[in-house]
Amino acid sequence: MERRDIIKSLSVLPFAGSFLPMDSLLSPASGPLAPGQNIYQSIGVEPVINCVGTYTIIGGSIERPEVVSAMHDASGFFIQYDELAFGIGRRLAEITGAEWGMVSAGCAAGMKHVTAACVTGGNPEKLIRIPDLTGFDKTEVVIPRRSRNSYDHAIRNIGVKIITVETPEELEKSLNGRTAMIYLMANNEVPADQPWSLESIAKMANPLNIPILVDAAAEDLTFPNVHLQRGATVVAYSGGKAICGPQCAGLLLGKKDILMSAWQASSPHHGPGRDNKVGKEEMMGMLAAVEAWVKRDHVEKMKTWRTYLENISKRLSSVKGVTCTIREPRGLSNHSPSLIISWDPDELNTNGMDVAEELATKQPRIAVHNTYLDDTGKTSINLSSGQMQPGNDKIVGDRIYEILSRKNPKPKQMSAPVASLDGRWDVEIEFYSSKSQHTFFIEQDGNWIKGSHKGEFSLRDMYGIIDGDQIKLSSSDRLVADHVPFVFYGTAMVDKMEGKIYMGEYIAARFTAKRHDQRQNNRPIRVPNGQPLAT
């Protein structure tokens, strides 16, 4: 799965595709921290078996033993941070073949530091004025729309103006003396002779000395680096994804002058990057992860991952109506095989979202992707094995077998609505530390609802259902690179609705809605025959 696909799935659920109420997932039995196998359970938090990939929200990846060892060893000493950064930079250059390397506090922090470097040119007088770019020469970053995503907040945080372009021709015309940088999401599937290839973009940027930053967060490392070979100036990786380094570290490879300026914009130095502190332990752990990557048997690793999926597939082979298909990885991002488990939802009386939610919320908790319905009318769950651990395959296979082999009751018919909700509603939303006034415009057709939801900044389409007195409404506030879902669920009455709001990664809120009280004003409306004689 490419990083752009992961971004799309963020709009649905924390992992899996289901509502995950906090109070139902936290064990009431929590006490003092107990180191060991049950360290998380000791504070009432149940771990998750990862069958989705390297999502930050469930911990990214499991650190390699070499990483844990290096971080432990590094924790017992004091060092001068600039000296450490320069030593790591030299060593990363030796290992990777890049001109220089740098460890940041995650991939996004690295993107932020590179942007600061391109804006300031390493000039500290400019650095300490970010995000006020008044008087700066370089104030714009060009991004193709296909590369816009929620992670480019790291770039926007510097205060630059984002120039979003739709075509290669627009990109070329947008480059000028104010352009600090071009940002691209990694895509090695575009042939070199195509307009959107990295090679073609580099031909536009190089004569103007405009750096290109490639975001390869979840990709496998390549030596020599494929992106630098194709024309990138700097490439950014997440430490806690494919590389299996520290979750709170990132890796930057590329031109030494820009990476030296990027380090200058990073903690421990003061300025806009001071809040992105990376510890000496993470820095050495990241270096250890790269060292381990070079030595690791990646062919054997892939065989192991495929074996996990084959074992699960065999476990499910006797379940009538269930089809299992193993897909080989495509591209460098989230490079691991996956297992698609599909069935007819009408035959098993359950769909992929239902199964994913049960797996996610009941012990043993298992994170999977899901598809409600595909083009053939089948539903499915999708397992990625890249972060599965030894023994997980048996647990996962047995759990999915249990769910799909049992007799599920047919979904019950919806009850008649308790009221007609047609009209305008005044909605008060209560967030954790503030309140907001919204508006619903509802049209009801039996159990089905459509309409509009007016938030603080936008008016968007809304749809939903009313089942008896239970209401569910869904809308989404979408910007070019961001998305906030609103799923209202609760109780409806003739003149009032109330309940909670599921907001994806932004956790939750509460709402109360009342019918808009528009006073009747029975008076004639006069249309003047001419223009007014006074204003």
pLDDT tens for 210-269 read: 999 999 999 999 999 999 999 999 999 999 999 999 999 999 999 999 999 999 999 999
Q: What is the mean pLDDT of residues 312-323?
A: 97
Query: Does 139 fall in a domain?
Result: yes
Q: What is the mean pLDDT of residues 173-184?
A: 98
Query: If you write DSSP's letter for every residue of 305-324 in order, what string do you get?
Result: HHHHHHHHHHHHTTSTT-EE
Residue 26 has pLDDT above 80, yes or no: no
- The answer to whether residues 391 and 499 belong to one domain is no
Task: Tell me which of 295, 326, 361 is where a domain ends.
Answer: 295
Q: Binning pLDDT at 50, 70 and 90, where does residue 452 land?
A: very high
Q: What is the mean pLDDT of residues 193-221?
A: 96
- 453-501 pLDDT tens trace: 999 999 999 999 999 999 999 999 999 999 999 999 999 999 999 999 9
- The answer to whether residues 304 and 326 belong to one domain is yes
Between CA 518 and CA 528 the distance in angstroms is: 26
Task: Tell me which of 268, 295, 322 is where a domain ends.
Answer: 295
Which of these, 242, 1, 336, 2, lies nearest to 146 by C-alpha position?
2
- The answer to whether residues 201 and 282 belong to one domain is yes
Residue 23 has pLDDT above 90, yes or no: no
pLDDT of residue 519: 82
Lowest mean pLDDT among 276-290, 343-357, 508-522: 508-522
Query: Does 525 fall in a domain?
Result: no
- The answer to whether residues 318 and 261 belong to one domain is no
- Answer for the pair 182, 142: CB distance below 8 angstroms, yes or no: yes
Residue 206 has pLDDT above 60, yes or no: yes
Q: Binning pLDDT at 50, 70 and 90, where does residue 6 land?
A: very low
In this structure, what token pair is assigned to residue 98?
């890049």
Query: If you write DSSP's letter for every residue of 481-508 in order, what string do you get?
Result: S-EEEEEEEEEE-SSEEEEEEE-GGG-E
Q: What are phi and psi of 164, to 5 degrees?
A: -90, 125
Q: Give, for 109, the enclosing helix (H) or strand (E).
A: helix 107-120
Query: Does 411 fall in a domain?
Result: no
Q: What is the mean pLDDT of residues 272-288?
A: 96
- The answer to whether residues 312 and 395 belong to one domain is yes
Query: How big is the CA angle at 367 (ends 363 and 372), to the nearest 5 degrees?
Result: 110
Domain assignment of residue 183, given as a range: 65-295
Tokens 């499915």 correspond to 380
Q: What is the mean pLDDT of residues 286-308?
A: 97
Task: Show Cβ contacts of residue 435 under 8 Å, excluding neighbours closer than 6 positions.
Answer: 428, 429
Task: Tell me which of 231, 261, 295 is where a domain ends.
Answer: 295
Between CA 136 and CA 120 the distance in angstroms is: 8
Query: Does 521 fall in a domain?
Result: no
SS3 180: strand
Q: Binning pLDDT at 50, 70 and 90, where does residue 3 land?
A: very low
Residue 22 has pLDDT above 80, yes or no: no
**Pick the residue with more confidence: 58 or 11?**
58
- Within 13 Å of residue 183, how many CA atoms lie on the same side as its CB? 31
Q: Binning pLDDT at 50, 70 and 90, where does residue 12 land?
A: very low
pLDDT of residue 11: 34
Task: Show Cβ contacts of residue 319 under 8 Å, excluding neighbours closer than 6 positions.
Answer: 401, 404, 405
For residue 341, the domain's CATH number is: 3.90.1150.10
Query: Does 257 fall in a domain?
Result: yes
pLDDT of residue 520: 79
Query: Does 535 fall in a domain?
Result: no
- Taking residue 476's Cβ as centre, other Cβ atoms within 10 Å add up to 16
- 374-410 pLDDT tens trace: 888 999 999 999 999 999 999 999 999 999 999 999 9
- The answer to whether residues 112 and 135 belong to one domain is yes
Q: What is the mean pLDDT of residues 182-197?
A: 93
Q: Binning pLDDT at 50, 70 and 90, where does residue 298 land?
A: very high
- Within 13 Å of residue 381, how many CA atoms lie on the same side as its CB? 32
- The answer to whether residues 399 and 430 belong to one domain is no
For residue 457, the domain's CATH number is: 2.40.128.120
Q: What residues pair up with 513 in beta bridges, in sequence order?
A: 427, 497
Q: How far is CA 73 from CA 78, 289, 482, in A?
A: 11, 14, 40
Q: How far is CA 15 from CA 160, 254, 354, 369, in A?
A: 32, 33, 13, 7
Query: How big is the CA angle at 44 (ends 41 and 46), to the nearest 5 degrees?
Result: 55
Q: Give, for 449, the enclosing helix (H) or strand (E).
A: strand 448-454
pTM of the model: 0.91
pLDDT of residue 1: 46
Query: Does 255 fall in a domain?
Result: yes
- 408-417 pLDDT tens trace: 999 899 999 9
Between CA 95 and CA 474 the distance in angstroms is: 50
Residue 16 has pLDDT above 60, yes or no: no
Q: What is the mean pLDDT of residues 154-172?
A: 97
Between CA 51 and CA 369 the distance in angstroms is: 8
For residue 268, the domain's CATH number is: 3.40.640.10
Query: Does 526 fall in a domain?
Result: no
Q: Binning pLDDT at 50, 70 and 90, where does residue 28 land?
A: low
Residue 5 has pLDDT above 50, yes or no: no
Lowest mean pLDDT among 2-11, 22-31, 191-200, 362-371: 2-11
- The answer to whether residues 206 and 115 belong to one domain is yes
Q: Give percent of the chain with pLDDT exceeding 70.
A: 94
- The answer to whether residues 276 and 386 belong to one domain is no
- The answer to whether residues 266 and 212 belong to one domain is yes
Number of domains in the chain: 3
Q: What are phi and psi of 511, to 5 degrees?
A: -140, 155
- The answer to whether residues 196 and 115 belong to one domain is yes
pLDDT of residue 15: 41
Q: Give percent of the chain with pLDDT exceeding 90.
A: 89
- 78-117 pLDDT tens trace: 999 999 999 999 999 999 999 999 999 999 999 999 999 9
- The answer to whether residues 14 and 35 belong to one domain is yes
Between CA 92 and CA 104 the distance in angstroms is: 13
Give buried/exposed letters for 1-19 (b at 16+ CB in 10 A, else e): bbbbebbebbebbbbbbbb
Cis peptide before 390 (omega within 30 of 0): no
